[in-house]
Amino acid sequence: MPKLPVFKMFIDGQWQSSSSSQTFQKLNPATGRPIGIFQRGSKHDVNDAIESAEKAFGKWSEIPAPKRGKILLKVAELLEKNKESLAKELTEEMGKVLEESRGDIQEAIDMAEYMAGEGRRLFGKTTTSELKNKFAMTIREPIGVVGCITPWNFPFAIPSWKLFPALACGNTVVFKPSSDTPRCAIRLVEILEKAGLPKGVLNLVTGSGSSIGDAIVNDKRVRMVSFTGHRDTGKGILKKAGIKKVSLELGSKNVVIIMNDADLSLALDGVVWGAFGTTGQRCTAASRVIVHDSIKEKFEKMLLERTRKLKIGNGLDKGVQVGPLINKEALRKVHKYTRIGLKEGAKLLIGGKRYGIKGNFYHPTIFTNVSPKMRIAQEEIFGPTTAIISAKNLDDAIEKANSVEYGLSFSIYTKDIDKAFEAIRKLQSGIVYVNASTIGAEIHLPFGGVKESGFGREGGWTAIEEFSNEKTVYVDYSGKLQRAQIDVD
Ligand code: NAD
C-alpha cells in the first residue's frame, strides 16, 4: 500500500502540524480507502489561529477594498486553471459525481469573481438629516475576526460563499471545515495563499467540530461566526456564541409541489434532480413531493420508471448519476429512516436498501402514501430518499408544504400564473422556484432560510451586508448645537 500523504493546517502563514500531534484519516466514500492523513487541531491551535487573525486584521482592513478584490480575481484564475484536478480530488474525497464536482468549483470561481467586484461596491447610503446643515450617511466596515465553520457537501462552494465576501469586506478569518472534506479545504487555502493573501489573514484549523468548533465559537476575539451545517449544531452554536454576530445556514425539508396543470415531464426532471442529485445530500434537496390527487398515480409511474434507470456508482465513473453517501454513519441514518417510514405505514415504491457491499451506496428511495405528520415527511434525512404526499388543491398543497419546522427552498410546478404567484407569496421558505427544482441557487442572489432553516443571507449583495458592519455618520456643518427631535423648527 502506498504511503498516505500527510496534510497540515495553515496558521499565521505557516503550514503546520497540530500541537496535539494527533491526526485522523479521511476515507474515500466510494471505495473505503483512505485518501490522506490530516491534523486533529487542538484548542491551542485555535488560539494561535485567532491570535494570528487578530494580528493581521489592522493591516488587511486598511488595504483598499478594490485591492483586496484583486486577490480574489487571482483566486478565480487559479481555480479555473486547476478545475479538472480539483474536481477529481473533490469526487474522491466526498463522492459527488464528477460533473457536479466541476459545478462546485465553478460556483467558487463565480463567487471569487463576484466578490472581487464587490470590492468596488461596498456601498453605504446617504440620506437627508432632519436638521439644517447636517449630513447623514453610512459606511461599511469590516467586523473583525470571523469564524467560518462549514459542512462537507459543497467543499469548495460553501467555504467560498463565506471566505470570499468576508475577505472582500476586510475581515480576517479562522476557517474550520468539516472533517469529511479537509483536503478540499486545504486546496482552497493553498490557492488563496498562492494568490497573494497576506500572512495571518486566513487561518485553517482542521479537526473535530465539538472541540475546535466550540473553541472558535466561545472566543470573544471572534466577532462573528458564520456557520453552515445541521440544525442541531446551529442551535448549540447560538447558545454558546454570546454577544457576537451569528449567521446560520441550516438544514431543511424542501418540497416540490406538482399541480394538475403542470408539465409533468418537466416536473419529473426536477424531482429526480432535486431528490437524487448529490445523492440527496443537499440542504436544498427535494425530500418531499406534494402531488395533486388527480395526477398522483400517473406521476408515480413516471417517477418509478426514471428512478429505476438511475446509474449508481463511483462518481469518477462515466455515466454515474448517483454517488455514495458521505460516510457509514450517513448510510445508517438513511436506512434508519427507511425503517421508520415502513413502520409509520408509508408505502415503499422503490429502494430502501444498500447498493452493493463496498462503499457507502444506497438505492434511490421513494415512499408514497405519506402523510405530512410522518417523521419521513418532517425530518431532514440528507440522503436519496423522497416522500410523496397527495393534495386536493393548491391551498391543501401549501398548507402541507408549510407544515414542517424548516423553510429553505420550496418549488411549484404549474402553468397557471395566478397559482404560481399565490404560491410564491404563501410558501414559507427563503427561496421559491417556479417550474424549476429546489436546487439551482446562483451566487449573485441572496441564499438562506426561514424558520428552523436558520437566519442570515449569503450570496450576492446580502453577503456584503452579512460580513460588514454599517456605521452611521453625521456631519454637522451648522456651527451651532443642533438637538435632534428638540430643535425641530
Ligand atoms: P454538521 O452540523 O455536523 O457539521 C458542520 C460543521 O460544524 C462541521 O465543520 C463540523 O465539524 C462543525 N461542528 C460540529 N460540531 C460543532 C460544534 N459543537 N461547534 C462548532 N462547530 C461544530 O453538518 P454536516 O453533516 O457537515 O452537514 C450537513 C448539514 O448541513 C445538513 O443539515 C444540511 O442541510 C446542512 N447544510 C445547510 C446548507 C445551507 O446553506 N442552509 C448548506 C449545506 C448543508
- Whole-number average pLDDT of the chain: 97
The CA radius of gyration of the chain, in Å to the nearest whole number, is 24
Cα separation, 95 vs 89, in Å, equals 10
Ligand 1 in contact with 288 (CB < 6 A)? no
Ligand 1 in contact with 380 (CB < 6 A)? yes
Give the model's pLDDT for residue 263: 98
Could you tell me if 359 and 314 are in contact, meaning their C-beta atoms sit under 8 angstroms apart?
yes
Dihedral over Cα of 230, 182, 192, 112: its sign: negative
Residue with the smallest CA separation from ligand 1 atom 30 is 229
| Helix, strand, coil % in the chain, rounded to nearest 5 | 40, 20, 40
Give the model's pLDDT for residue 488: 76
> HSE (CB half, 13 Å, CA atoms) of 25?
10
Alpha carbon distances (Å) from 29 to 177, 287, 325: 18, 22, 7
Relative to beta strand 255-258, strand 450-451 is: unpaired
The amino acid occupying position 219 is: D
Write out the three cell numbers for 98: 464528477
Write out the three cell numbers for 226: 458564520
| Beta-ladder partners of 409 | 431
Give the model's pLDDT for residue 2: 76
Q: Is 249 a catalytic residue?
A: yes
Give the model's pLDDT for residue 437: 98
Ligand 1 in contact with 214 (CB < 6 A)? yes
| Beta-ladder partners of 258 | 291, 413
Catalytic residue among 283, 300, 380, 458: 283
- pTM, to two decimals: 0.98
What torsion, rounded to 10 degrees, do the Cα atoms 178, 73, 112, 444 define?
A: 180
Atom of ligand 1 nearest to the CA of 252: 34
**Which of 153, 181, 212 most suits a substitution to test ligand 1, by most atoms within 8 Å of the C-beta?**
153
Atom of ligand 1 nearest to the CA of 178: 9
Give the model's pLDDT for residue 125: 97
pLDDT in tens, 2-52: 799 999 999 999 999 999 999 999 999 999 999 999 999 999 999 999 999
Burial level of 221, CB count in 10 A (0-12/13-18/19+)?
Answer: middle
Atom of ligand 1 nearest to the CA of 237: 19
Task: Collect all residues with Cβ–Cβ distance below 8 Å to 327 and sequence separation of at least 6.
Answer: 27, 29, 180, 360
Task: Collect all residues with Cβ–Cβ distance below 8 Å to 226 and sequence separation of at least 6.
Answer: 146, 147, 148, 149, 162, 166, 246, 247, 456, 458, 466, 467
Q: Is 184 a catalytic residue?
A: no
**Coil vs helix vs strand at 324:** coil
Could you tell me if 153 and 104 are in contact, meaning their C-beta atoms sit under 8 angstroms apart?
no
In the predicted model, residues of the chain with pLDDT beneath 50 are none
Cα separation, 166 vs 151, in Å, equals 17
Beta-sheet strands, E only, within 17-69: 23-27, 34-39
> HSE (CB half, 13 Å, CA atoms) of 78?
17
End-to-end alpha-carbon separation of the chain, Å? 85
Could you tell me if 265 and 295 are in contact, meaning their C-beta atoms sit under 8 angstroms apart?
no
pLDDT in tens, 234-288: 999 999 999 999 999 999 999 999 999 999 999 999 999 999 999 999 999 999 9
Lateral strand order in the sheet of 126-128: 126-128, 134-142, 468-476
Cα separation, 16 vs 12, in Å, equals 10
Catalytic residue among 92, 118, 249, 466: 249
pLDDT in tens, 387-404: 999 999 999 999 999 999
Cα separation, 454 vs 85, in Å, equals 34
Give the model's pLDDT for residue 1: 66
User: How many other CB atoms sit within 10 Å of the CB of residue 194?
Assistant: 12
Ligand 1 in contact with 233 (CB < 6 A)? yes
Give the model's pLDDT for residue 489: 73
Dihedral over Cα of 176, 182, 185, 186: its sign: positive
Ligand 1 in contact with 246 (CB < 6 A)? no
